[in-house]
Chain A
């Protein structure tokens, strides 16, 4: 359970930082009226939707940390046989990186008001993300053809489970991206479009990060890395 505890520690750090700006040690009964120094404590200047997405991504991060924790705990048992990852995953990773870059371009374009570039970026991001999903499915097929079936070993089970869960999140993201894209073509208000594109980009970058983390996990590098850290500590 150490992975999830480390994750929660990070969250607790953020929460602590935020709480420390809420003047928790002041005596509220002495502060009557609308004193000027209370301004700034009311709410964050960030758009509410971004904060909402941030909270949601925390939950998603929590979910994948828990899968990772379960992975490490199950890995320690005797019947674990690591599996060779298909080469295709490297290509998929590249495609997902492209997708994120395309969205980042769309964000820049949206800030500069270049609607054509926004449309181009959104379309590229959507298509590359779809390509990633198709690539993942092909990787699954390749694995089953090579005899690495879902239930034959826990390492296989975790591979299908975690990549599947990540794929579902990409799929959900595509719904949001689709809506933003439709808005970009149907003339949504510029500030609304910009917010939409920024939200998509935030989600995409996060899922790219999650993918890199689980790729490292499934390939066994994460375990090696932890082993090295442990050796350095002892």
Chain B
């Protein structure tokens, strides 16, 4: 059953279309991410769901009930939506203690004292804040402040939890740790998560399903693995992980790097419906580099090799184009200027822009 439904939602700021005819259904208990570069409309979408922004067009339906509708000019105010929300800048109240911050939404709802104390305690316990409940937030680290925000959001047992880049103000190590904590909280409290992020690894790690957005338009919706394996277009492919785009000429299903049409093809299974030239897209890890003596593969020259620890990062020039390749160190090092042959294992085909 779907918990939350956006129907043809559009939002404009002055003349700029921030979100364009967005349709979406999020299921109950799902962890759903909005992924995209900054300014793509993901935060605006979340703020419309929270009720902070009105819709220029469209409707938002939660649990079968209309929450926002541009047609009926009806907007349930944010304070009546019973959502939990966590902001990038933490937004914990500096004049209240940890305990009072978490108790605030319950006090507003006039929850009886005994029940309230029980729920605050539970929220603090599940975020590991019990020991510091009487401190003021300004004395605490960023990670602790964000835990307060999480505790405050889960205390009311929300139907839906809205997270707006909650981890991007934290350092990388803490960020990874907090992902698991958020998942744990979801397991314990059973809410639906809507998660906004520009970090694809975060979205992949957390989400049951996700949506990739660019310039206000939805590019693809699906499970993380689907999106990784079957990117709908060039933007999605480039946004999810490192990517190479090699311009190729296709002749009878055989694809040659532009300008190297005499040598061996990079693939003989290229689609014929994308025109004469198109992009062959692939990840830096999906490439084999072999020595020139081994025959097959297109020829290239190492222009730069960088030792990254476990991996070696190469820039290989193929004609006038350059690709990036990452190989494990154990495969041996190629030197700068060394000629090599390149075999690409897994290729996605996209039309030219």
Tell me whether A and B are bound partners.
no
B interface residue numbers (CB < 8 A to A): none
